[in-house]
A and B are shown apart, each in its own frame.
Chain A
């Protein structure tokens, strides 16, 4: 039995909460950064045996990982096991040359920067603290610290965003020559302050913004990026000295690999069991201070569920999904029908399945239909 090769570490602290965000975040509480890092390391010690001796990827997500006290961040990074790819998420306004160097010195190989938009007006709608220039400064800081794998997050479908605004954002992002881009459509998630304020407006403009996804794909692939996952793009190897710039860590999710998650609200999936750690900071700290595992919500994943997940995750990628062992998860008649519509394609004499480009634009509905 080999352990999980992928480790996620959640750092929930934020300077303020963005209206659209539904992640587990904690505003303020600087005083608890140290205790939280202690708790993470305590949890890691408790879970160490679920991990493989050598990790492939580590991902520090948030929250705002770069908001944490630099001393504490350094202590955490140095204590975490090393990996081929170590990613840290950063908010532009928190990035300084010093921070960039610290990350580099601690073995971080990749940074993911939450740019979201290059227009102040739209950033304000999103309640983001950083400005477009903060994004640029942050990218330069990482470049100066010799980071050769920088990813930018963009959000499209923001209330009031015209197609010209979208094109401008894409152009501004491309001008920074990132190795990787993640582009998400803004979701009005239930219960968020944003949905309360803008939900109706967002629903109203849904039809007008229906083409935005397609525009993003066309613009980025036209600029030499590989659309390797529904919402993720990376420079093609020919434009990157032959490097494969896909996120190793996220590829693990989409390929159905096991992963361990540390921190409040973090999810782990190992050996057919999934659990989510308590989202409550106090509960988490108390349990680990006592050397105990924090409370978790456990979900057993029976074989058919695992198979469905393999399909729904695998079809997000631009590589064909091997159907070996997944036959029961698919509705054969639907496969036939969707193939007829040019939305899916079977390869390797029926042993593989992939979505066509148009099928990928409709990936959610297509997958719902494909599943038995």
Chain B
């Protein structure tokens, strides 16, 4: 294909603004699939993605339109995968920025639009769902045109649901998005913008060929990691895998590498041919590091080997997942896992429970800390209980948060951000009604219950997104929890010194509610070092009997005791205290409302 007749583009949209439906409709209109065979939403392959309405792993589909080859590169829709989104965008020359005609732009739209602009993409604004009765295409069009600096008349209005305007979108892609640059004669370079693992074929790399071409059998090297392999097969998706002799400059497709370990080929790396080796890789490669950590423990300690195997298998498909064995005094053997963000964590947890049928206890998440000890050693701490006691300095990750709210909720959002150690960056009116607030916040303040608080304080109207902006020094301290005098490692937390007393108090109160009364008094204490900052006592039970037990009651009483026994097994024995699993999550929701029905 003549390079000038290729168009590479992505669709970027807030969740539910119709990205998948638009992609499906493009496949239909271009006769790539017939409506009859099409599984709704072809691009979302995993069951989980479909349920959550988000796309985790990018893929690319080739379609033909009026003598042109269009490559639709799918992007993950969530902040946790910003790096992957940016690599996908780097593989394109243009992007459809889709906005719901009834909802207008959302924080995620803004964050992704900025990413597209940073990647020098031609942005094609699209207003979707114009068929909805509550649609206001003029207002949504004005917002999006304003955001990307485009003439409102050039905003394409469509209904992916009814198919209206799809052809106009395809025409606009051909007319307005430039063809790929790339030099067919230079040394070979291809950007890896995604990869997945197939148990029979090994790692499959999704690539955009930048210069020259890659053929089947080509000896290939990944420039950043130095991994070498032979291209077992090259080809493209249309929508299923179609093998080809070669992928040429400007084209998008896949390379079957035969590699058995997904970590050997990272997203963002550049492939080159050993026959025509390039001197410089495509810029932009980063070794993405997990920022959010949590302990994963099997509820039943006998399941530890199953958990280990499951993590190994997930890791095959998810290079960003990090894990290492962890031993907790309270929770036994498990793994400390690192995630890109909260959603990534939630996805991994759900996959472990659903696909591997594991019953898990996930501890409250924390962020990565960079610590300089008094002795001058630098360590990265992934677990509050590992925080050294002699600290010179602690740096914690910060984010830039974009929050869009109706103007009436600006006050409550500012208040929340102030409570969470946020610093105001700027604010702009997107329209008369809607305001964009930009704050810098410690990531640690987001990982606990920020989303819930934001939602409840704005009645669900806020839309939120963030970008990591690096590490900054923080006045942080570790708060430990002691049950019956014994420190419980799994309940330690790292907090800002100013909030330590309040957090310790809230945690102790919550634990007193969550932990059932025992056969003896259980003091619950929060402490910084050896100084106790809060204390409560769970009073011992004074009575626990089955009143009557005669000949006709024995079977029933026995079953009752068996159930009671089972209930006890679900508890974790921490020293002499039986602690329900939920108590380990108490730190998650310290400011939130108390749970109903938990009073003992």
Which residues of chain A have a CB within 8 Å of any CB of chain B? 8, 184-185, 187, 210-214, 230-231, 250, 253-254, 259, 261, 265-269, 274, 276, 299, 305, 308-309, 312-313, 316, 337-338, 340-341, 343, 360-369, 371
Contacts and interface: CB of A to CB of B under 8 A. Distances in A.
A185 B544 contact: no
Nearest to B600: A207
B596 to A, nearest CB: 14
B542 interface: yes
B597 to A, nearest CB: 11
Given A341-B519, A369-B565, A8 B545 contact: no
Interface of B: 519-520, 541-552, 554-555, 557-558, 561-562, 564-565, 568, 576
Contacts of A340: 576
Given A210-B542, A361-B545, A364-B546, A308 B558 contact: yes
Contacts of B547: 184-185, 187, 230-231
Contacts of B520: 341
Contact of A261 (B541, B551, B565): B551
B545 A250 contact: no
A305 B558 contact: yes
Given A267-B552, A364-B561, 15 more contacts: A185-B547, A187-B547, A210-B543, A211-B542, A213-B542, A213-B545, A214-B543, A230-B547, A250-B550, A265-B552, A274-B555, A362-B545, A363-B544, A366-B544, A368-B561
Contacts of A312: 557-558, 561
A347 to B, nearest CB: 21
A342 to B, nearest CB: 9
Contacts of B549: 230-231, 253-254, 313, 316
Nearest to A156: B547
Given A210-B543, A253-B554, A305-B558, A184 B564 contact: no
Contacts of A259: 551
A28 to B, nearest CB: 23
7 contacts: A210-B541, A213-B542, A214-B543, A261-B552, A308-B561, A364-B544, A368-B565
B93 to A, nearest CB: 67
A340 B550 CA distance: 30
A196 to B, nearest CB: 19
B572 to A, nearest CB: 15
Nearest to B557: A312
A309 B483 CA distance: 34
Contacts of B543: 210-214, 361-362
**Complex A-B, nearest 3 residue pairs according to Cβ-Cβ distance, in ascending order:** A365-B544, A368-B564, A267-B552
Nearest to A203: B599
Contacts of B568: 368-369
A227 B103 CA distance: 72
B542 A361 contact: yes
A276 B544 CA distance: 28
Contact of A365 (B519, B554, B555, B558): B519
A231 B553 CA distance: 14
Contact of B554 (A185, A230, A313, A366): A313
A267 B600 CA distance: 35
Contacts of B552: 261, 265-267, 276
Contact of A362 (B519, B550, B564): B519
Contacts of B541: 210, 362, 365
Nearest to B566: A368
B558 A309 contact: yes
Q: Which of B546, B547, B551, B564 has the most CB of A within 10 A?
A: B551
Given A230-B545, A230-B547, A274-B555, A337 B561 contact: no
B544 A267 contact: no
Contacts of A360: 545
Contacts of B545: 185, 213, 230-231, 360-364
Contacts of A253: 549-551, 554
Q: Which of A276, A299, A371 has the most CB of B within 10 A?
A: A371
Nearest to A187: B547
Q: Which of A267, A337, A338 has the most CB of B within 10 A?
A: A267
Contacts of A364: 544-546, 561, 564
